[in-house]
């Protein structure tokens, strides 16, 4: 029975133990104390329920009332999510900021505030796409609204529903107005879904297409597939957030869900301020129009931080089900793991590695496995995907710690951030020999960009590997011991590292680099290598080669306008070739 009241027996930080909640089920929501603080039952033991509370528990006492709501944590889905920022349990932060609650007025987050995720008053122009009498099933399209200039939001028959369409709405509707009557049951645009349950799909597909990011070290060397997953661990200040933000800006996704999980408030403020002013390179629409932010900053309640990952994932799946390519960017999964650890620690559970609960790996796996490329539910052949990119913040930048290690087992792409590179301001500080991708995307690039793309990529990776091997020799014996051809490896390796892989997120031209430009930049470097090697073999002086005037052009390739990349590359190559001829 709903509403059966329990009583608080114990309060320790975000964890409350209560007894007497009849009918309590795992993951049901409860309301605790006079303020009705929202909490979630995370453990049941006889009559005792362990509750993680999403807000500060200050002021609770033994005997405080606990109301059972009978429902799990649900997130509201429907038009009105894009361009907005929500906390870990789905409360709209802009609306809260405008509501006038809080300590000195609105800017601080008070407790017990209740504002629904979706705006109830806002009207959307609903365009039906089926007719009365049609028979529909879960996932079939009822109609659409233009949520933003960037996205046509499909209104679908929710999972579990279906039957004959007895009525269909049209025109300006709110999210709670019925848009259709199916077997007598009204269906509204607003739907709810329990955040911890993956949304159903028709079937999973093999990810075989890259998520193009415009970041050279990613697309050229270590791409991630649409529907795949990547992990990016790195010590503080190595570039996780800037990288996630670059992906949020430039990746070719239809929808971006950016989760600031236990990180800085200002970083979300920055996205909120910057994205509306930036244009999506594909659609020209504002980037805010395709972005949803989930913000549970480091100083916000830790239990809600744990939930934020699931809230974000459910929203991502909802758009995937409409046939969108969604990128879910989580910064940082370590803070989520720590939230698990903190709650578990208060329960005095038997700790596993480094104090994390023994269920850390299974929870992480559940999260990463919600990534995928899928055939969506419903009659039409929609294909959607959720690509997950999880940042990891290893203590002391030591990758042997549990969250990094388990993430590595799960993610298909590994971008290893290197503290030393970050300190010398080599950005992105993704290490070229320690990172990898397991996705076989070469055929896609060969087909869509240039037929020797994969061949170039292999060549670059091998050269960098060779450079690293030679480096260890030089560190012991000095550069003198190297043969001219080996010195060339250094020379060209440096070009790849500095003139290709380095890419400033703050450079107006270079922040985003289209695939064709990436290809031509690498093409120039490879050609330079091949021609220089030939010249060396024909007796040219290595020092002369290094100081050829045309070589300086390689460092300036990044500022080429993308549309001039091919002509620029061909011209630069012929200048280098001509100067090499002369050097002989």
Q: Evaluate whether 145 touches 153 at the Cβ level (below 8 Å).
A: yes
146-152-156-159 Cα dihedral, nearest 10 degrees: -120
> Per-residue x/- mask for other proteins, residues 399 to 438, rule CB under 8 A?
------------------------xxx-------------
Q: State which of positions 66-125 bind other proteins (CB under 8 A).
A: 85, 93-94, 96-97, 102-104, 106-110
Q: Which residues between 393 and 412 bind ligand ATP (CB under 6 A)?
A: 393
Query: Helix, strand or coil for residue 420?
Result: helix
Nearest Cα residue to 136 out of 161, 167, 168: 161
Q: Does 269 bind other proteins (CB under 8 A)?
A: yes
Q: Which is nearer to other proteins, 96 or 173 (CB)?
A: 96
Token pair 């300190």: residue:
423
Closer to ligand ATP by CB, 108 or 236: give it. Answer: 236
Under rule CB under 6 A, residue 419 binds ligand ATP: no
CA angle 9, 10, 13 (to 5 degrees): 150
Q: Which stretch binds ligand ATP (CB under 6 A): 53-61, 202-210, 298-306, 501-509?
A: 501-509
Among 104, 121, 350, 506, binds ligand ATP (CB under 6 A): 506
Q: How far is the CB of 274 from ligand ATP (least distance, A)?
A: 14
User: In degrees, to the nearest 5, what angle opens at C-alpha 238 toward C-alphas 232 and 242?
Assistant: 75
Interaction between residue 298 and ligand ATP (CB under 6 A): no
Note whether 234 binds ligand ATP by CB under 6 A: yes
Residue 370's CB: how many other CB atoms inside 10 A?
20
In angstroms, give the least distance from the CB of 266 to other proteins.
Answer: 6
Binding flag, residue 236, ligand ATP (CB under 6 A): yes
Q: How far is the CB of 464 from ligand ATP (least distance, A)?
A: 19
For 475, phi and psi rounded to 5 degrees?
-60, -25
Query: Could you tell which of ligand ATP, other proteins, Mg ion, none binds residue 342, using a CB distance below 5 to 8 A set by kind?
Result: other proteins
Q: Which residue lies nearer to Mg ion by CB, 50 or 302?
A: 302
Choices 140-148, 233-241, 367-375, 440-448 (CB under 8 A): range interacting with other proteins: 233-241
Cβ pair 576, 548 in contact under 8 A: yes
Do residues 13 and 34 touch, judged by C-beta distance below 8 A?
Answer: no
Which of 181, 242, 408, 450 is the binder for ligand ATP (CB under 6 A)?
242
Which CB, 240 or 320, lies closer to Mg ion?
A: 240
Is residue 380 within 8 A of residue 154, CB to CB? The reply is: no
Stretch that binds other proteins, among 9-17, 167-175, 205-213, 458-466 (CB under 8 A): 9-17
**Contact call for residues 113 and 101 (beta carbons, < 8 A):** yes
| Residue-by-residue DSSP string for 263-311 | --HHHHHHHHHHGGGSBPTTT-SBGGGGEEEEEE-TTS-HHHHHHHHHH
In the complex, the smallest distance separating the C-beta of residue 150 from ligand ATP, rounded to whole angstroms, is 24
Q: Binding partner of residue 106 among other proteins, ligand ATP, Mg ion, none, CB under 5 to 8 Å per kind? A: other proteins
Q: Is residue 477 part of the contact set for other proteins (CB under 8 A)? A: yes
Least Å from the CB of residue 113 to other proteins: 10
Piece in contact with ligand ATP (CB under 6 A), picked from 7-15, 202-210, 229-237, 453-461: 229-237
Please tell me the distance from the alpha carbon of residue 458 to that of residue 485, in angstroms, as a whole number: 19
Element (H, E) at 8: strand 5-12
- What whole-number distance in Å separates Cα of residue 560 and Cα of residue 565? 6
3-class state of residue 316 by DSSP:
helix
**Beta carbon of residue 234, minimum distance to Mg ion (angstroms, whole number):** 9
Signed CA dihedral, 427, 257, 447, 572: sign only: negative
Tell me the site size for Mg ion, rule CB under 5 A: 2
> Residue 544 — φ and ψ, nearest 5°?
-60, -45
Residue 191 tokens, joined = 């739907």
Closest residue by Cα to residue 498 from 474, 464, 475: 464
78: enclosing H helix or E strand? none
- Which residue's CB is nearer to Mg ion, number 197 or number 269? 269
What is the rounded CA–CA span in Å between residue 143 and residue 126?
A: 7
For residue 58, the minimal CB distance to other proteins (Å) is 4
- Residue 234 binds which entry of other proteins, ligand ATP, Mg ion, none, CB below 5-8 Å type-dependent: ligand ATP
Residue 466 φ/ψ, nearest 5 degrees? -60, -40
> In the set 241, 373, 407, 528, which binds ligand ATP (CB under 6 A)?
241
Q: What DSSP string runs through 441-465?
A: -HHHHHHHT-TTHHHHHHHHHHHHH
C-alpha 66, offset from chain centre: 36
For residue 428, the partner it binds in other proteins, ligand ATP, Mg ion, none, with Cβ less than 5 to 8 A by kind, is ligand ATP
| Residues within window 262-281 making contact with ligand ATP, judged by CB under 6 A | 263
Q: Interface residues for other proteins in 372-401 (CB under 8 A)?
A: 393, 395-398
User: Cβ neighbours of residue 564 under 8 Å, at least 6 residues apart?
Assistant: none
Number of residues that bind other proteins (CB under 8 A): 77
Of residues 214 through 243, those in contact with Mg ion by CB under 5 A are: 240-241
Q: Please, which residue, 98 or 485, has the CB nearer to other proteins?
A: 98
Close Cβ partners of 359 (under 8 Å, ≥ 6 residues apart): 340
| Comparison of 334 and 435: residue with beta carbon closer to other proteins | 334
Q: Which is nearer to other proteins, 115 or 138 (CB)?
A: 115
Contacting residue, 357, 428, 562, 568, with ligand ATP by CB under 6 A: 428
Looking at the Cβ atoms of 240 and 382, the one nearer to Mg ion is 240
Site for Mg ion in 236-295 (CB under 5 A): 240-241
- Work out whether 360 is an interface residue with other proteins (CB under 8 A): no
349 and 50 Cβ atoms separated by less than 8 Å: no
**Of residues 483-512, which lie at the interface with Mg ion (CB under 5 A)?**
none
Taking the CA atoms of residue 524, residue 530, residue 534 and residue 536 in that order, the dihedral angle to the nearest 10 degrees is 80
What is the binding site for Mg ion (CB under 5 A)? 240-241
What is the binding site for ligand ATP (CB under 6 A)? 234, 236-242, 263, 393, 427-428, 504-506
């Amino acid at each position: 029975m709903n509403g059966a009241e329990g009583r608080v027996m114990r309060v320790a930080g975000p964890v409350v133990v209560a007894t007497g909640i009849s009918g309590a089920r795992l993951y049901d929501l409860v309301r605790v104390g006079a303020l009705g603080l929202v909490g979630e039952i995370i453990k049941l033991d006889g009559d005792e329920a362990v509750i993680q509370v999403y807000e500060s528990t200050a002021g609770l006492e033994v005997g405080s009332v606990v109301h059972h709501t009978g429902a799990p944590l649900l997130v509201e889905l429907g038009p009105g999510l894009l361009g907005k920022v929500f906390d870990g349990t789905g409360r709209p932060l802009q609306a809260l900021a405008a509501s006038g609650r809080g300590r000195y007025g609105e800017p601080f987050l008070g407790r017990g505030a209740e504002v629904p995720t979706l705006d109830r008053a806002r009207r959307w122009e609903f365009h039906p796409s089926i007719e009365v009498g049609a028979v529909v099933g879960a996932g079939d399209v009822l109609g659409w609204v233009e949520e933003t200039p960037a996205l046509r939001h499909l209104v679908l028959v929710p999972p579990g529903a279906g039957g004959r369409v007895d009525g269909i709405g049209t025109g300006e509707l709110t999210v709670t107005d019925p848009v259709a009557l199916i077997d007598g049951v009204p269906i509204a645009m607003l739907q709810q879904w329990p955040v911890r349950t993956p949304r159903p799909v028709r079937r999973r597909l093999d990810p075989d297409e890259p998520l193009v990011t415009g970041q050279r070290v990613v697309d050229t060397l270590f791409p991630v597939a649409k529907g795949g997953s990547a992990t990016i661990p790195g010590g503080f200040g190595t570039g996780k957030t800037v990288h996630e933000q670059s992906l949020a800006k430039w990746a070719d996704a239809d929808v971006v869900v950016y989760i600031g999980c236990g990180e800085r408030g200002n970083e979300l403020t920055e996205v909120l301020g910057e994205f509306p002013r930036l244009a999506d390179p594909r659609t020209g629409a504002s980037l805010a129009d395709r972005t949803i932010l989930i913000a549970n900053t480091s100083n916000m309640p830790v239990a809600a931080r744990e939930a934020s990952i699931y809230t974000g994932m459910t929203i991502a799946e909802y758009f995937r089900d409409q046939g969108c390519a969604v990128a879910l960017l989580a910064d940082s999964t370590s803070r989520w793991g720590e939230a698990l650890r903190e709650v578990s620690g208060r329960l005095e559970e038997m700790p596993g590695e480094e104090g994390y609960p023994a269920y850390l790996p299974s929870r992480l796996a559940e999260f990463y496995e919600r990534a995928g490329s899928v055939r969506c539910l419903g009659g039409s052949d929609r294909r959607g995907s959720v690509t997950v990119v999880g940042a990891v913040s290893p203590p002391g930048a030591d990758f042997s710690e549990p969250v990094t290690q388990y993430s590595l087992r799960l993610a298909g792409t590994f971008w290893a951030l290197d503290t030393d590179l970050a300190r010398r301001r080599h950005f992105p500080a993704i290490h070229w020999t320690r990172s990898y991708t397991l996705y076989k995307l070469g055929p896609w690039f060969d087909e869509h960009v240039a037929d020797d793309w994969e061949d170039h990529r292999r060549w670059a990776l091998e050269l960098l590997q060779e450079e690293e091997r030679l480096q260890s020799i030089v560190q012991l014996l000095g550069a003198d011991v190297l043969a001219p051809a080996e010195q060339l490896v250094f020379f060209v390796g440096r070009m790849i590292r500095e003139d290709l892989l380095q890419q400033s997120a703050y450079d107006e031209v270079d922040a985003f680099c289209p695939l064709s430009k990436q290809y031509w930049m690498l093409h120039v470097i490879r050609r330079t290598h091949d021609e220089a090697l030939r010249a060396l073999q024909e007796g040219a002086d290595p020092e002369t080669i290094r100081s050829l005037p045309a070589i300086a052009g390689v460092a300036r390739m990044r500022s080429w306008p993308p549309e001039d990349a091919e002509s620029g590359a061909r011209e630069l190559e012929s200048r280098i070739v001509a100067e090499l001829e002369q050097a002989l």
